[in-house]
Amino acid sequence: MTTLSALSSFVIVVGLLTMTPGMDTALILRTAAVGEPRRAWGVVLGIQTGTLTWGVLTSAGVTALLTASHLAYEVLRWAGACYLIWMGLSMLWAARRRGPDQAADEPAAAGNDFYPGWRRGALTNLLNPKVGVFYVALLPQFVPSGASPLAFGVLLAGVHILLGTAWSAALVVLARRLRAVLHRPAARRLLDRITGTVVAGFGIRLAVSSH
């Protein structure tokens, strides 16, 4: 496999996976719809920070421990499951209790902050061991013969980040254009319930999944 064909194949595979709706999509849409752009971009860049970290660790061979060590995988899996379930239930609970003029878990004083969004996006990605296992299975298939696994693996992770950021930007723009509708109290409660259910569902799925 040549370098060009490897990159082309990787772009197709990862591009399709990036556009598949999932937890990241729900989290980005919800944050962009009810929060401020800085917070939404914090979530986006936090997710991509996690992607870069997994890419570098995988290319260096570190994440192979997740497939080799049952204990390491289980510790990370349960930490991620607990975090996702807590975050999802927090959204559901806050959506039920909040007043009509305040978004769930985003008070006015912190609604514009970049860091809380970045932290949420990064933790959501980094505490999911399936991302690491996915990279362990995926990246080596696209490293051409004779290429440095570390250098080319980081390059592939960079391509993944570019695609993910571009798709996330489209989601943020879409959510901002629909903000007038989604910012209505009833729509915000519905959006929070949907996002909370999706996030908690991913956490439960992670908790009950096997290695």
Selected residue with higher pLDDT from 3 and 124: 124
Residue 170: give the domain boundaries.
Answer: 3-208
pLDDT of amino acid 105? 46
Report pTM: 0.80
pLDDT of amino acid 22? 85
Q: Give the chain's end-to-end CA distance (angstroms, integer).
A: 31
CA–CA distance, 129 with 113 (Å, rounded to integer): 27
* Per-residue CA distances from 75 to 56, 94, 128, 180 (Å): 21, 28, 11, 42
- Predicted confidence (pLDDT) per residue in 20-66, tens digit: 888 899 899 888 888 778 999 999 999 999 999 999 998 888 877 77
Q: Decide if pLDDT at 67 tops 80.
A: no
pLDDT of amino acid 191? 77
Q: Over range 183-208, report the average pLDDT.
A: 81
Share of the chain above pLDDT 70, in %: 90
Q: Which amino acid is at 24?
A: D
Q: Of the ranges 14-18, 188-192, 201-205, which is most confident? A: 14-18
pLDDT of amino acid 12? 93
* Per-residue CA distances from 90 to 93, 98, 105, 199 (Å): 5, 11, 8, 10
Name, in order, each residue with C-beta under 8 angstroms of 170's C-beta and a sequence gap of 6 or more. none
User: Do 136 and 67 contact (CB within 8 A), yes or no?
Assistant: yes
Q: Decide if pLDDT at 13 tops 60.
A: yes
Query: What integer best gives the mean pLDDT of the chain?
Result: 83
pLDDT of amino acid 68? 76
- Predicted confidence (pLDDT) per residue in 106-161, tens digit: 444 444 589 999 999 999 999 888 888 888 888 888 888 888 888 999 999 999 99
Q: How many domains does the chain have?
A: 1
